[in-house]
Chains A and B, each alone.
Chain A
């Protein structure tokens, strides 16, 4: 009896594990169907969730293709096993959103060796032979930095909010800011630069402390919108009469609303739609035997008060704003 119970428990947990895969699109009735395994970095990360949804929607435009989504849960070892499983289950192509550029190289190479095509999206693996679609993080910073060069006053006090330590996107965006802003504006003084791990609450707490030490801060340079929004919340809480110039990256619903309201200055959109469109097209081209150019980059769109309405509408359509 005990054994049966244990077996049932094993079966139950196994079925729970496999149900991590979801969102299967129906197969067309005739002809060859291409099966794509989409492996998301982490469904818990709001951008990755948006990208996964966008990929599923995009694949629906190709009647001969279907996609299954797997959640990598921010774990390199889990992503590796998703890749291995996709090979075993004979998927035609793996569309991968890498978590770590180095950690995924080996499993990706194994998959290619086993005859499964691999495309990466939104980050790359350290192997130039793997077709890739990506956003250029330096350019994402550049569009904001070029605006800041003109806007930030002389001898301004600036604070910088960083993503997690060693994160490629955070580091590259910071590099873009250095090249297109800090190197050209030697008069500007960075009075604080800390890691806030992409989080709103951590950005808020750092800004509260900076306001205590430095009083009025002229500009906030943030590597993403969440941290910038948190810093602005701290400015509001300090009772300041005006908001500092504030720059982010991502183009979240909140940032668009804040830009429209004049609280935030600008951000650049990393569009999951564009990433999905390009990467699914690339995948389909590869499956149907066409030649593809790689890597392909989506362009970062600058969002300012002038065009914020357009992006607010986009977020409304996505259901991010009611």
Chain B
């Protein structure tokens, strides 16, 4: 009896560490950071971190969907800047927050549809197609603004600097987007198709999935997130910055990958991405709180990314290995 109980406990623990390894890393970081700096574990600082990560995390959710389907979007940072710039310009021209917001989202969708079209129609590798979009969108943002920042945004700042019941608006948007992503991935046919395409595209096509249409939809949805992020970004910094978001696509991918999304496709979750984003957010924040020198920060960040991902993969492999073992045993019995 006691033996059985301890077996069950061990099984439970191993399941916990494999399935929820990423959550355990987050928890460990929370504890360690709180011990390192008294300023870390306070409502104000946690809200501060959430606000800081919100914009790249919104992009991360779109990126997660794309990576699950075996796609990628290198243009996210540039498209975000273009969408944000045009949204600011439209706001300054019309004075309407709603039209400005819609413009940003539409620009994001439009740019990504072009990328999606090039990927699906011409069979261009997503890496190349979105690399091209990255340059073009940045060029367009610079051309439109003549390389200058746009100032005096007046009411436009409420998207990024406002709050609802004390919670910063971008954080609320991030939570909504995470729920939307979770719903799309888990409860819709579109979501299941993304996993199927990422797992094995030929098999997916053979089973009747409209692969191209699903890919276009994924690009469009991620474009909408990117456009929304652009509006929030410009609003948060209270300026239209044509140089904004350089390298954001990599921050977005990092959160995704730390959160367990696999670059080989077919694997990834919305909650994992959110946790991955918080891990990076905690890390950036604690290093600044402790006053760690800039150059050193970059090295530490690289190290933590490798450790987190390696631990996650190792614990998952253990799980797969034990499952395979079970199957073999069962095979012998039969």
Contacts and interface: CB of A to CB of B under 8 A. Distances in A.
Interface in A264-294: none
Contacts of B242: 44
B17 interface: no
Contacts of A213: 37, 39, 288-289, 291
A41 to B, nearest CB: 11
Main secondary structure of the interface of A (DSSP, over half): helix
Contacts of A226: 149
Nearest to B168: A237
B334 to A, nearest CB: 58
Contacts of A45: 147, 243
Contacts of B289: 209, 212-213
A192 interface: yes
Given A44-B147, A48-B147, A194 B288 contact: yes
Interface string A43-80: 11110111001000000000000000000000000000
Nearest to B295: A165
B75 to A, nearest CB: 16
Interface stretch (A126-134, A174-182, A252-260): A252-260
Interface stretch (A83-91, A199-207, A297-305): A199-207
Interface in A236-264: 236-237, 252-254, 257
Contact of A200 (B44, B152, B237): B237
A322 B95 CA distance: 14
A208 interface: yes
A321 interface: yes
B13 to A, nearest CB: 35
Given A212-B45, A237-B161, A321-B151, A199 B146 contact: no
Interface residues of A, number: 38
A210 interface: yes
B148 A257 contact: no
Nearest to A201: B237
Interface in B48-85: 48, 51-52
Interface in B264-314: 284-285, 288-289, 291, 294-295
A212 B238 contact: no
B147 A43 contact: yes
Contacts of B238: 233
Contacts of B184: none
A50 B239 contact: no
B237 A254 contact: no
B224 interface: no
Contacts of A43: 142, 147
B138 interface: yes
A192 B237 contact: no
A254 B148 CA distance: 11
B291 A49 contact: no
Contacts of B148: 46, 49-50, 320
Contacts of B133: none
B152 A322 contact: yes
Contact of B237 (A53, A230, A253): A230
Contacts of B111: none
Given A44-B242, A205-B52, A194 B149 contact: no
Interface string B233-256: 100111101111000000000000
A93 interface: no
A162 B238 CA distance: 21
Contact of B151 (A48, A191, A257): A257
B147 A229 contact: no
Nearest to A205: B52
Interface string B183-219: 0000000000000000000000000000000000000
5 contacts: A46-B147, A210-B288, A212-B289, A213-B289, A322-B92
Given A45-B147, A204-B237, A226-B149, 10 more contacts: A44-B138, A44-B147, A45-B243, A201-B233, A209-B288, A209-B289, A212-B289, A213-B289, A253-B149, A321-B151
Q: What are the 9 tightest A-B residue pairs by CB atom distance, in nearest-first order?
A: A49-B147, A209-B288, A195-B294, A212-B45, A213-B39, A254-B151, A44-B142, A213-B289, A200-B237
